[in-house]
Each structure stands twice: as structure tokens, then as C-alpha cells.
Amino acid sequence: MMISDDTVSAKKPISRCCFIFAFLFFSSQNAVVSSPPFDTPVARPLKKLDKHVVLLISTDGFRFGYHFKTNLPNIHRLIANGTEAETGLIPVFPTVTYPNHYSMVTGLYPAYHGIINNRFVDPKTGHVFTMASHEPEWWLGEPLWETVVKQGLKAATSIWPGSEVRKGSWDCPKGFCQHYNASVPVDDDVRVDTILSYFDLPSSDIPSFITIHFDDPDPQGHQVGPDDSLITEAVVNIDRLIGRFIDGFEKRGVFEDVTMIMVGDHGMVGTCDKKLIVLDDLAPWIKIPSGWVQNYNTLLAIKPPSGRDAKDVVAKINQGLRSGKVENGKHLKVYLKENLPSRLHYADSDRIPPIIGLVDEGFKVEQKKSEGKECGGAHGYDNAFFSMRSIFIGHGPMFSRGRKVPSFENVEIYNLISSILGVKAAPNNGSDEFASKVLLPRK
């Protein structure tokens, strides 16, 4: 069934400043943590550091519920002594890596920060954006590392999408801005230890805002889907890395001072090749050449050539899909982008192709039939699907202990961190009031 248009909240204006894993069962069985201590009504004072420091940790493809798969003592320690989005963090659409990571650090929906997919074509220049594109003209908005540095503080990043882009006040400083190099294996332990070493620097040199992006458990999810033991192994390793941070902070006496925010960029759902919608099957109604298609799989994006009426193309595609003669056709609905549900915020950019197809959970779109019948996992679907949700855990002086808050969209994270650090936020799509609803007030 397609999600109804009003499932998620409508668009916010620019402002300043199934798989639930039977999670209640798993949380009661596996969250072996001590009861949170009595909390104070205001933010706790810093004990050793002389300023607030935020460490933003992203674990790619960490679907909400993964943290109930097995005993994860370090993650559950943060939950028990911090604040959690009780039913997960809501990603932006499309629910893929680069748009979501950049939304978290700019507070903007993809239509406004410009990274509308992991790969797309600029309609003006014809240039293709890929995950290796670091030219500043692609990356709009003001990411947090730029906001922080512009206001006299220091920042550090480790393989966070967009952080290698030299833009505004941010020059990706050596030693504080780790690049991604596909030819060099990433050693996550070394990356954690590098961040911990910042806390051995003089106080004035400790970055106020730090990001790190872990690849797992996304590749495992694509390989085997969300329910395999391989996911459990990957999540256990993430918990180990969180523990490495905690141990390092405790040895330095700063664990209660450092704000740790753990998030994911999107979820994951199981797929099989038998759940395909094949564009060539639409030939009796309309032929869709591969040259028209800019994105397949979990999001269909089509740009017809000039001279072809996009509205007519949409009508003929939907006629075929509704005919009952296209296999799995009922699991795809195609729109002119301006007619997409407004809650998706996916129209106000010329980088977004004129025709967008929303694919039902677990299904994929391909040009031709394939012989393979392998199963795995995917994401990129409508962000109203629960399977696309990830996690939010906040631990630190301004987060209540043991508190649960309702789910929220990840564009709110920018204002949340700006508030903790006391910096003025750039214009964004988040809510000015959100931080005050989640954070403890300052004394």
C-alpha cells in the first residue's frame, strides 16, 4: 500500500536560529543497564572542560530496532543516561546517505542544500554529481563545521559527507579533517583514537564540534537484509567503537562533559528480485528509454527530452501501472515533482528531475527483467515507512537522563547542536523551538 499524503508533517518554513523487532521485548531482555540517576531540572555544570564539546556520531544504515537485536552495553548506557527518540529518527527524502548526512549538518531539506541524491545530473551544466564530487558549487547551505569556525570555534570531521568541501570559513584543516580514500582501508579504531587525542590538546585547541561517520551496518544490510546475523555482528562492532569512545573520555575525565549524539542516516528493508517493476513492461502505453532515467531502484527519476510533455508521460506511465497488466505495477506511483506529497519537501530545486516515482517498501524499479532472484536489503524509499527510520541518542550535560522524546526529522539536529554550542544558526528548515523541547535549560 502507498503511504497517504498526510502521514508525515507538512513542510516547515525557513526559520532562523514488518520490522519493529518486537522491540519492547528486546529492550526488556537485552538492555542490561543500571537505572538512570535522579536528574536535575537544568543542564549539569561542566566538571573539567571549559566549554561545551559535541561529538556527532553517524552509523550508516543503522535501522531503528537494530539496538534491540542483542546486548549492546555501551549504546544502552548512553540511552539509559541520556535522551532517546523513542520510535526513531525520521530521515529526509530520499532516504539515502549523502542527502541525509548533509541535512543533519545544515538543517535543510535536500531541495535547499542541493544534494538531492547520491548521484544526479545538474540540468544547467550537464555535470554529474557523485559521492566523489567536492566542488563547492554542489553543496549549498551552511554546514555546522562552517557555522562553528565562522564564529571563532574549532571543528573536526572524519569522513562525513560534505566535510572535504572547502567552503566559506571552512578549509578542511590538516589533522582535523579526514578525507575518504576508497583505495585505503578505513581503520575505525585509529579514527576513534585520533578524535580522543584532540582531548589531550590545550583547552583552546580542542574542537567544539566533531563528526565521525561509520560505514557499518549499511553494507551488511544491502548484502543480507535487516534480519541476518551479519547485521548483529556489525552492530556489536559499532557498540564496541562507542565503548572505545566512552573509555577514552573516562580516562581523560571528560565523559560527563562531552556531548555524544549518536544518529543514523536511514534504515533498511529486505528486498528480493521477484519484487521488480520493469519499465520495459510499459511499452504498450509508453516507451521509457534508459536515457530518460536518472535514477532506478527505490526511487524513480525521469527527465524526458525537450519537446516531450512531462504531464503526458506521467499520465501514460500511471495508466500502464494501473492496468493490472504490468507485474507489480500497483507498487509504483509516478508524479510530476510539483505534485508529490508536500511532506516530502522534494520539488523546489531544478536539480530534481521533473518526474518522480515513489516505490512501495521492498520493491525496486529496473529497466529490464533480470534473471537473478537474490535477496538483500535496500533503502531510499518514502521516509514515512517505519523501516526507513534510524536512531537518535543524546548524552551529555544538556540532555535529561533516561528521557524518551517523540520521533522527529533529522533537519532539527542542526539547531539542536547550535543551541548546545551557543552559536548563531544559519537559516534552515528546522524549528527554532525544537532545542528547548529536547534540551535541559541552562542555569
Active site residues: 97
Cell reading at 389: 527510520
Judged on CB neighbours under 10 Å (0-12, 13-18, 19+), 214 is: buried
Region of residue 108 (phi > 0: left; psi between -120 and 50: alpha; otherwise: beta): beta
Paired residues of 263 in beta bridges: 58, 392
Amino acid making up residue 261: I
Terminal C-alpha separation, the chain: 49
Distance CA 226, CA 400 (A): 31
Cα maximum dimension of the chain? 71
Amino acid making up residue 355: I
Instruction: Supply angle C-alpha 38, 39, 41, rounded to 5.
Output: 140
Please provide the DSSP assignment of 267-328 as one string. Answer: --EEEETTSEEEGGGGTTT----GGGEEE-BTEEEE-PPTTS-HHHHHHHHHHHHTTS-STT
Residue among 299, 309, 143 at smallest CA distance from 211: 143
Query: In the block, which residue shows the cell 539547531?
Result: 415
Instruction: Supply angle C-alpha 317, 323, 328, rounded to 5.
Output: 80
- For 132, 182, 364, the CA distances from 119, given in Å and listed in that order, are 10, 17, 17
Distance CA 203, CA 334 (A): 54
Local structure of 337: helix, strand or coil:
helix
**Contact status, residue 381 vs residue 58, Cβ threshold 8 Å:** no
Residues 6+ apart with CB under 8 A from 90: 8, 383, 389, 407, 408, 409, 410
| Residues 230-247 as b or e (16 or more Cβ within 10 Å = b) | ebbebbebbbebbbbbbe
Amino acid making up residue 155: A
Region of residue 209 (phi > 0: left; psi between -120 and 50: alpha; otherwise: beta): beta
